C-alpha cells in the first residue's frame, strides 16, 4: 500500500523556517534555543513565521530547559504560551509533562491538550525520559495527544529503531509515533525500514550545528532529506 511520508524540521529562526520550507519540509517545529532541546519561542517569532511560512507550523511549549516536572507557575506559563500559539495562527503545539515518578502526567497533559483544542498536541521527547515507555505510550494516548516525538529512549532514532518499531506496532491507529533525534539523509532509509514510521522529525544538527547561519546549506540538507523521504513511498 502506498503511503506519503511526512518530514518535520525543527528550527529556531525565521530564516531557517523559510529555508526548510524551500527545501521541501512538510511541517515546521518552531522553537527557541535548540541548543537545550528547544523552549517556547517568542510570540514575535511565531507571528513572523506565520506571516511568511506557508506550510504547517507547530510551536514548542516548554517554559525552560531541564526536566519536565513543572511548578504551578510554570504550568500556568504553558497555558499562556498555548494561547499565544493559537492567537498567532499556529497549526499545533508540542509539549510534554512528567510526574515526579517519571511517568507521563496524564491529568496535566490532558488539561493542556483540551486547552489547546482545536490544535493538535505532539507529546515531545519528555517521553524518552519516562521510566517505562510502554506505559508511557498508553498514558500519552489517554492524555489525548495526537503524536509522540521519540527516539525510542535511545540517543538517536537509529539506535532506538527496534523500540520505535515496537511502539508504532503497539500504537496502531491510536496515536502517531514520530521518530526523531539524529535523523539525516544518510540514515533515514534505515530508520524508515526498521520502524515503518510515516512521519519523521529532524533538526539536522548532525549535518548543520545548532546556531549555524548557513541557511543555504541548511536548505540543501533539508532537500536531501526530503528527497530520500519521497522515495520511501512503497
Helix, strand, coil shares of the chain, percent, nearest 5, are 45, 15, 40
For residue 167, give the H/E element and its range.
helix 161-171
Q: For residues 215 and 185, what is the distance between their CA atoms, to the nearest angstrom?
A: 17
Q: For residues 28 and 38, what is the distance between their CA atoms, to the nearest angstrom?
A: 13
**Torsion-angle region of 99 (φ positive above 0: left; ψ -120 to 50: alpha; else: beta):** beta
Average pLDDT rounded to a whole number, residues 52-71? 98
| pLDDT tens sequence across 144-183 | 999 999 999 999 999 999 999 999 999 999 999 999 999 9
The CATH number of 6-230 is: 3.20.20.380
Q: Can you give the pLDDT at residue 182?
A: 95
Domain map of the chain by residue range?
6-230
Question: Under a CB-based contact definition with an 8 Å cutoff, are residues 203 and 12 in contact?
Answer: no
- DSSP conformation class of 146: S
Q: Indicate the pTM of the whole model.
A: 0.94
Strand segments, DSSP code E, in 97-209 are: 121-123, 147-150, 176-179, 199-202
Q: For residues 37 and 35, what is the distance between their CA atoms, to the nearest angstrom?
A: 6
Amino acid at each position: 500500500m502506498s503511503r506519503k511520508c511526512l518530514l518535520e524540521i525543527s528550527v529556531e529562526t525565521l530564516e531557517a523556517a523559510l529555508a526548510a520550507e524551500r527545501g521541501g519540509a512538510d511541517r515546521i517545529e518552531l522553537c527557541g534555543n535548540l541548543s537545550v532541546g528547544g523552549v517556547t519561542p517568542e510570540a514575535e517569532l511565531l507571528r513572523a513565521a506565520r506571516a511568511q511560512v506557508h506550510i504547517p507550523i507547530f510551536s514548542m511549549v516548554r517554559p525552560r530547559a531541564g526536566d519536565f516536572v513543572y511548578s504551578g507557575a510554570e504550568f500556568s506559563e504553558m497555558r499562556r504560551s498555548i494561547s499565544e500559539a493559537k492567537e498567532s495562527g499556529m497549526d499545533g503545539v508540542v509539549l510534554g509533562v512528567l510526574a515526579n515518578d517519571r511517568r507521563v502526567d496524564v491529568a496535566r497533559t490532558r488539561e493542556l491538550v483540551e486547552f489547546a483544542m482545536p490544535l493538535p498536541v505532539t507529546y515531545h521527547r519528555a517521553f524518552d525520559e519516562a521510566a517505562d515507555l510502554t506505559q508511557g505510550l498508553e498514558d500519552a494516548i489517554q492524555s489525548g495527544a495526537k503524536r509522540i516525538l521519540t527516539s525510542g529512549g535511545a540517543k538517536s532514532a537509529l539506535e532506538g529503531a527496534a523500540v520505535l518499531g515496537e511502539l508504532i506496532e503497539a500504537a496502531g491507529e491510536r496515536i502517531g509515533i514520530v521518530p526523531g533525534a539524529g535523523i539525516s539523509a544518510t540514515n533515514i532509509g534505515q530508520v524508515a525500514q526498521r520502524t515503518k514510521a510515516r512521519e519523521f522529525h529532524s533538526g539536522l544538527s548532525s549535518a548543520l550545528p545548532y546556531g549555524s547561519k548557513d541557511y543555504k546549506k541548511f536548505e540543501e540538507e533539508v532537500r536531501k532529506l526530503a528527497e530520500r523521504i519521497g522515495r520511501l513511498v512503497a
